[in-house]
Copies of this chain bind each other. A is one copy, B any other.
Amino acid sequence: MNYLEQLGTKARKAATALNLMLQEDKNKALKECAKSLMGAQDNILAANEIDVNAAIGNGVKSSLIDRLRLTPDRLQGMADGLLQICALPDPIGEVLSMTVRPNGLTIGKKVVPLGVIGIIYESRPNVTADAFGLCFKAGNAVILRGGSDAIHSNQAIVKALRDGLKTAGYTEDALQLIEDTSREVAKDFMRMNAYVDVLIPRGGAGLIKTVVENSTIPVIETGTGNCHVYVDEFADFDMALDIIDNAKTQRLGVCNACESLVIHEKVSRSFLPLLYDRLHAKEIEIRSDERGLSICKGFVAATEEDYATEYLDKIISLKVVESIEEAIAHINYYSTKHSEAIVTKDYEHALKFLNEIDSAAVYVNASTRFTDGNEFGFGAEIGISTQKLHARGPMGLKELTTTKYIIFGNGQIRK
């Protein structure tokens, strides 16, 4: 049995035990894990220092170093996150429906854990505790495979969490870390169908593409977001400016930030100069099509590629359209099916946009930045799914479960 099969076997055994854990026991364990995390603060920060120094030495850019760096505050945030998860209701065991068939068979649909969840992520060590906490509360064992950049941090965090589980009297194997961060082991991990029920990649577009193309385990694709705001001919301009400003600039590097604008031609002459002033003040470059360029000198020419780009930067693309139909077709063609918004005062256009845009979250008169587990009221999220199977949009505890049919009979046989 090789290294991964050993991890897989332990995870399966842990999942069997987790399936039967009561809510109060899971919460007790999570509280111990939070305590253990803070108790190991010195170890964790020292390990993180090794990773950060190595990254600086390798010339990694400062925004990535910032993601990698842990501080006492950030560690406290991770521990608080575990305590917040304790406060969430346990989804396991709920019977979603129960019906009696004509022959008396009583068929219930019961919420159960997925089993073993694999998570492949990049260099954000806070994911280590967050992902464990959510998977654990939903009764799942977790196998983590983080980036090599963060390996010392991840090892220290996982050790603290496993110590917490042990102190609480539960199986440490509810959480395991793949310590060999080679690509070969990662690829083998993606084919462990006998041990892993679901694989969730968290990171950039490259990582997600690699997982989708190589995994034989069912994957929940979490998302890149080329999100659009469409300013309809019947838009309130002040509202449109506020929503665009918020969706683009409130936080640049996130998947629900707006990356592309679509403007109805009828309002383009009056609206685009206002838009330019608003975004120019925030140092946002606007890459526009011909029609936009002819109205506003401050715009830069867009290429075809711009419309397909998630910038995560101070750049936004812009397209002028002749109709709402053209707007919807443009968005459905270029979007990554994450989050899109219309700004309009028109009833028919609002409903048309809601019906015809094929994305996980479709907004009327609100910022795309709300696509988030906390903002949706889920309490926490493991990621935002941009695929259509199983879960779509922000994924909370419920999305980390499955169902099984439980059937109560008294001797029924099929005729």
Contacts and interface: CB of A to CB of B under 8 A. Distances in A.
A366 B246 contact: no
Interface stretch (A82-90, A265-273, A311-319, A403-411): A403-411
Contacts of A355: 19-20
A388 B411 contact: no
Given A115-B388, A389-B218, A413-B250, A408 B364 contact: yes
Interface string A83-119: 0000000000000000101000101000010110000
A402 B388 CA distance: 6
A interface majority secondary structure = mixed
A144 B41 CA distance: 57
> Which among A198, A361, A406, A410 has the highest number of chain B CB atoms within 10 Å?
A406
Interface of A: 16, 19-20, 99, 101, 105, 107, 112, 114-115, 193, 197-198, 212-213, 216, 218-221, 236, 239, 242-243, 245-247, 250, 332, 354-356, 358-367, 369-371, 375-377, 387-390, 392-393, 402-414
A393 B361 CA distance: 28
Contacts of A356: 16, 19-20
Contacts of A390: 389-390
Contacts of A405: 360-362, 371, 376, 392-393
Contacts of A388: 114-115, 197-198, 218, 402
A191 to B, nearest CB: 8
Nearest to A371: B405
A360 to B, nearest CB: 6
Contacts of A393: 403-405
20 contacts: A20-B356, A107-B377, A114-B389, A193-B212, A197-B388, A236-B411, A239-B411, A354-B406, A360-B404, A361-B407, A362-B404, A364-B409, A365-B409, A365-B411, A366-B410, A366-B412, A367-B413, A367-B414, A369-B413, A393-B405
Copies in the complex: 2
Nearest to A372: B414
Given A105-B370, A367-B412, A213 B216 contact: yes
A407 B370 contact: yes
Contact of A392 (B19, B367, B403): B403
A247 B409 CA distance: 14
Contacts of A404: 358-362, 392-393
User: Closest 5 CB pairs between A and B?
Assistant: A366-B409, A246-B413, A369-B414, A390-B390, A388-B402
Contacts of A414: 246, 250, 367, 369-370, 375
A212 B407 CA distance: 29
A389 B392 contact: no
Given A239-B411, A393-B403, 12 more contacts: A16-B358, A115-B358, A198-B388, A218-B387, A242-B411, A245-B413, A360-B405, A361-B404, A365-B410, A366-B411, A370-B412, A370-B414
B406 A362 contact: yes
